[in-house]
Amino acid sequence: MMKGERKKEDKRKKEDIKNHTAKWTKQRPSESINAKGNRNELHENGRIRIECVKRKRKRKRKRKKR
């Protein structure tokens, strides 16, 4: 966790969370929240789990290198 990140999380409101997710999906439409499987689940506190997607990206990179 970076400095001051916890403060931001405390301030974040429910509608703020929606905006945040929308922005995030615009950046990577292929990995939208309603994408197949539970790749990135919305948590109660509004953060998105992206580690599964990260793993997928890592795999892709390795494949390209071969």
pLDDT band, residue 37 (cuts 50/70/90): very low
By C-alpha distance, which of 53, 43, 54, 52 is closest to 21?
A: 43
Q: Is the pLDDT of residue 61 over 80?
A: yes
Q: What percent of the chain has pLDDT over 90?
A: 0
Lowest mean pLDDT among 24-28, 53-57, 59-63: 24-28
Q: Is the pLDDT of residue 65 over 70?
A: yes
Query: How far, in Å, are 9, 25, 41, 48, 59 from residue 29 at the CA level?
Result: 24, 5, 15, 15, 19
Greater confidence (65 vs 34) lies with 65
